[in-house]
């Protein structure tokens, strides 16, 4: 599918990390961040005026920082880290879709689901990378129908 307008993926992703998890990502990667392996992934599938999915992957330590800041805990459990990471992906997806459709149309989001850190060969309609302290964030948007 070809989009006629640019997707505000980078801005929305950075704003979500900042507003929800109090983490301020860079909109570029420095050399050390480029080689950091991605270790955790989550997908949010959506249906409505467009159908597709948003995949969010991060390097080691990011999910802990996200959960710690969102919940105000020093040592969040693995489960809380996964839940907080999923909720962040959920909020990011909802806000991104609102921006893309100018608040027209109702989307239904499936609950966030864990995925592997390996990326599929599918080609996203938009992709962005953010630097986050010593780690990095990768976001990919796939749209399969509608729009």
Partner 1 sequence: MALNVLIVDDSAVMRTMVLRTLRLSGLPLGEVHEAPDGQAGLEVLQAHWVDLVLLDLNMPRMNGEELLGEIRGNPETASVAVIVVSTEGSDARIALIHKLGAGFVHKPFRPEQLRAEILQLTGMQDDAHETSAVAADGSGDF
Residues at the interface with partner 1 (CB under 8 A): 16, 19-20, 22, 67, 70-72, 80, 83-84, 86-87, 90-91, 93-95, 97-99, 101, 103-109, 111
Instruction: Write the Ramachandran bin of 73: left for phi over 0, alpha for psi from -120 to 50, otherwise beta.
Output: beta
Q: 49 or 119, CB closer to partner 1?
A: 49
Q: Rounded distance, CA 78 to CA 99, Å?
A: 32
Q: Of 93, 142, 97, 136, nearest to 117 (Cα)?
A: 136
Q: How far is the CB of 90 from partner 1 (least distance, A)?
A: 7
Is residue 114 within 8 A of residue 42, CB to CB? The reply is yes
To the nearest whole angstrom, how small is the minimum distance from the Cβ of residue 31 to partner 1?
A: 31
C-beta closer to partner 1: residue 20 or 125:
20
Cα(62)–Cα(84) distance, integer angstroms: 11
| Shorter beta-carbon distance to partner 1: residue 51 or 119 | 51
Beta carbon nearer to partner 1, 59 or 81:
81
In this structure, the chain runs to a length of 147
Shortest Cβ distance from residue 46 to partner 1 (Å)?
Answer: 10
């Amino acid at each position: 599918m070809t989009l006629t307008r640019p997707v505000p993926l980078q801005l929305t992703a950075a704003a979500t990390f900042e507003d929800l998890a109090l983490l301020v990502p860079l909109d570029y990667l420095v050399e050390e961040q480029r080689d950091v392996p991605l270790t955790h992934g989550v997908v949010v599938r959506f249906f409505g005026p467009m159908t597709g999915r948003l995949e969010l992957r991060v390097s080691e330590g990011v999910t802990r920082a996200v959960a710690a800041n969102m919940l105000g805990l020093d040592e969040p459990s693995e489960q809380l880290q996964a839940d907080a990471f999923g909720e962040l992906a959920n909020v990011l997806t909802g806000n991104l879709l609102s921006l893309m459709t100018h608040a027209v149309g109702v989307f239904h989001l499936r609950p966030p689901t864990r995925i592997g850190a390996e990326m599929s060969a599918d080609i996203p309609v938009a992709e962005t990378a953010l630097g986050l302290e010593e780690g990095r964030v990768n976001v990919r948007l796939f749209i399969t129908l509608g729009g």
